[in-house]
Structure 1
Amino acid sequence: MRREPVRPDPDQVLLARARRVIALQTAAAITVSLLVLGVLALAVVIRSQDSAAATLLRNTAATAEDVADPPPDVWIFVADPAGGITATADAPAGLPDRGALDRVRAGGASETTGIDGREGGYLALTRRRDGRVVQVVMSRHEQHEERERLLGALAAGELVGLLIALLSAALLARRATAPLVDALARQRQFVADASHELRTPLTQLHTRAQLLQLDLRSGAAGADITADVDRLVTGTRHLGEVVEDLLLSSQLGHRDDAREPVDLGAVAADVVAGQADRARAQEVELALLPDAGGPSVVPGHEAALRRVLTALVDNALSHTPAGGHVSVGLGTDHTMVTVVVRDDGTGFDPADTERLFARFARGGHGDNRRFGLGLALAREVVTGHGGSIEAWGRPGQGAAFTIRLPAAGR
């Protein structure tokens, strides 16, 4: 069987390309900076060597009494008016620079000349002194070797710097693209969530709208139309809740870190009041239990915490039959605020406890209970507030969801 080649993820290809470009540009900038510094250092050394050599030649030519005992690697040559030359012993072959001697003896100005020779060559200063022409020659071999050592050190430093630059640039590129990785992941997750969650309610809305259209065209009785309209309104409410969940999911990682005091008791009361009509329509008793402790204030984002409680109450009402009970109770101690949403509805298999908080999870024991994004987002919000959420349930015995959040000022 022939296998189709695996195509690379376009996002990963884009990220890899961005990382390479950032790494190469950063490494190139660091390398060029090191190269410029090396060139500047070499130029300073050469300038210093030239200045030291010129000073040594001038001082020797001005103060030497004879050709004996010159400084190391320096030779003195003296030409008398008759053209005879006295030289320092063991002067290298090819010295002195007779052309410079002849020009200065003939009345020319003092001059500094370079002479070819061993590595680095020689530097000669020829000047007139006391009716004679003095030429001082120094070897530049040591200076040449010093420059060679400096160049070797700069080359090694440049190579090491390049390796360090590449490693550093790769690390910086990875860190620089980390927000992009997170953004792309959130974008893909949001698109997947939206396509998954919106498909069913949109299809239901479209179907109910078509049925309502058919009823209107056929002149159906008012009661039938009213029932269709009620179902249509219920569908739009469900769709709005799905959109709220999707928006909350996309914003969780981008919320301001600033937290404000949130009174969970007041939030719970608002949520219960907002769900009261639905509970009465389903013939379910919905109650807010008296707070068993002190003030239930936590630091956090009120809108996000309100959505958590709304999702839990909505989940309880969705799985509690007529005649059932749903309660929201709060408790506090010195460090934590507790909220418990309890129902005596269909419950769930304890084996499904962790799976309930997965996106688009479904329950077991044959009821095909579906939890969508609500419980998954509830856990994300609660853990993002430094708290925890736990679920308890038994088939046919109801369920309870317990939220624990750090109290304000703790």
Structure 2
Amino acid sequence: MSTRRRSSEETELRRASLRLAAQFTALIVVLLGLAGVLVYGLVSAQTRDAAEQTLVSAVEFNSPREAPLDVFVAVYDDGRLAVSRNMPSGLPDEEALADVANTGESRRDTVTDGDRSYEVLTTRRGRDVVQAAVDTHEADEQLRRLSLALVVSVLAAGVVAGALSAWAARAAMRPMAEALALQRRFVADASHELRTPLTLLSMRAQMLRRRLAAETDARIDVHTDAETGAEIDAATAREEAVQAADEVVDDTKVLTGILEDLLMSADPRRSGPLEEVDLVSLARAAVRSLQPEATRRGLTLELDAPDPEVTVRGGQFALQRVFTALGANALDYARSQVRFSVLKSGRDAVIRVSDDGPGFPPGFSRQAFERFASARDRAESKPRDDGAGAAPRHYGLGLALVAEIAARYGGSVSALPAVNGTGGVLEVRLPATRKHSGSKGREV
């Protein structure tokens, strides 16, 4: 691994660890903050209850001299006012005394004098009007000190939690980062090794095509085809060979594009360019490429395209893989027919591939798109082989790749209920780029 690649992976690991640590720290701070608010609320409520109890007890004293030192009492009796010693300025509250004397209803007030505040309770006891006041300065100071202590504790706990979570997150994520790096290297190495023979294959196919197309021998050589028994001439055979060479060249281009797309999908740090892709053209290409296999299996391929163009933004080769995977899955289970449909539905471009096979079992639509899942009972479908007498091996990756590609471009994939109770229907929805209109048409 190069120094630059190693440095990039270390930077990515550090950033991921810091993001995880920040999220954990934020959670810890929020939880501790809520606990601190709860504690502050409980202490504040207890303080208010204690002051209330002190006031209620103080108004029961018959004489101001009997009141505790931290409680100030005033008694108003027939124009005479008796107050506690060291009564602070601002007390007693004569307005409250006069009001209670006239109305007989108790009053609760707060009197402020400079930096001091007092809770005052004025009530009538028989013919007397009694007023009790409690200094809340010390209680307020205690609440302020408590709030400061809670804030400092939460911040300190946040710093400690951040440091510990950053260390733990880095230690926990390192094995995953190394596994991801190993996966990226494997995909890059495999793609590099496969790209070279594909390039050579493409070059040789192009050279073969030029050579076949350049032949100008006018002699007609008639011979019998070994498989069909039909008589064909050399010109026809040469034309078919040129067409086959063109198809090989096109297939190598598709395979090269798939390799590039695999490299993009294997490395989340890289994103391929998005372009407008016509799904109808991709569907036609998929039908053409799958037609020989469908003919060999005795199946009919249909393309239903109500609109001449249905475009989305994405990667051409990735979306081509969607059609290929859906078509290959349908061919494996179809009894006689596979149908591709490409249409517009509201703001979505819709791809549907249906077959007349056994269909999906109930409740299996989610599992169908998991890796290595077998969505349908292959024993109920028409038996297939690869031409050598052995059934092809399936790994359950095609539909999982379809789901990943659809999610990459903001879409979704689902298994729909079969029409008339039989067959399987797979639907991919992708955001369409613009509206299209056209006459309905079908290709077979």
TM bin, normalised by shorter chain, reads 0.3 to 0.5
Query: Could you say which structure has the larger radius of gyration?
Result: 1
Using the size of structure 2 for normalisation, the TM-score is: 0.41
TM superposition score normalised by structure 1: 0.45
